[in-house]
Amino acid sequence: MSIKAKILSGQKVHGTMIRLQRNPAIAMIAREAGLDFLMYDCEHGTYTIENLHDLFVTGNAMGFPSFVRVPQLSKDWVSRVLDAGATGVMVPMTETARQAAEIVKWSKYTPLGDRGYGSGLAHTNYTVGRHTEVMKAKNDEVIAIAQIESRLAVDNADAIAGTDGIDVLLIGPNDLSISLGIPGDLMNPIELEAIAHVAAACKKYGKSFGIHAGPQIHQLFHADETFMMFGTDFDLLSAGCRDIKRVLADIVNGEK
């Protein structure tokens, strides 16, 4: 079963955000650890399309999905990362139904969207022909994610969730808190009410709901989530380094 089929059937999938790692082995490590996907961050990270291609090809060879948070809503980014082999795209600061429709336009083939077709690329496993078959398969597989990060996006949650071809609405809690006038106060009732409103819109329109957040928020909303994200590779490396320091310090201190 594809990851899209899983989330739309109500199954939960788990992943993290990658901003620093460029070695394709990260996909192998993540899969071995039990994650279901990785999201590569091009909004705040420094990836090139060549970096992304190599990461995607490795993941695809293992049947391990790769997503991209693109830096902006544009054909150049959305369609190109999909041609390079991404399983799906997330567009930050999606705020209106019009923007949601544009995500669909550049991420899905006709009749859902207007994505241009290029054969002999990573998304076709470097094969040619079979246009109709490939386009249908990709429309069934590709996941279009609207990231909800502002008061306006929350106000328009029903319209965004009701957009045909949008698969997931995913909360970005930090930017949302800033937009709501409570920067960094992620457990504020104002923030939690906004998140709950988006979750309800997803349920109403049969779309997947997700949050990229820490454990406290997931504990409150996990029943509503199917697309769950936690942490970044910075967090993984930082925590690992602290663990090494702690273990070695405990050994040394134990000898005193």
For the chain, strand residue ranges (E) read 13-18, 37-41, 66-69, 88-91, 143-148, 168-171, 208-212, 227-232
Write down the catalytic residue from 14, 44, 123, 197.
44
Alpha helices in 84-170 (DSSP H): 97-107, 131-141, 151-155, 157-161
Q: Are 64 and 42 in contact (CB under 8 A)?
A: no
Q: Count the neighbouring beta carbons within 10 Å of the beta carbon of residue 121.
A: 17
Q: Which two tokens stand for residue 198?
A: 């988006």
Distance CA 193, CA 185 (A): 13
Burial 28-44 (b: 16+ CB within 10 A, else e): eebbeeebbbbbbbbbe
Q: Are 233 and 18 in contact (CB under 8 A)?
A: yes
Residue 44 falls in the annotated catalytic set: yes
Q: Are 18 and 26 in contact (CB under 8 A)?
A: yes
Q: Which residues are catalytic?
A: 44
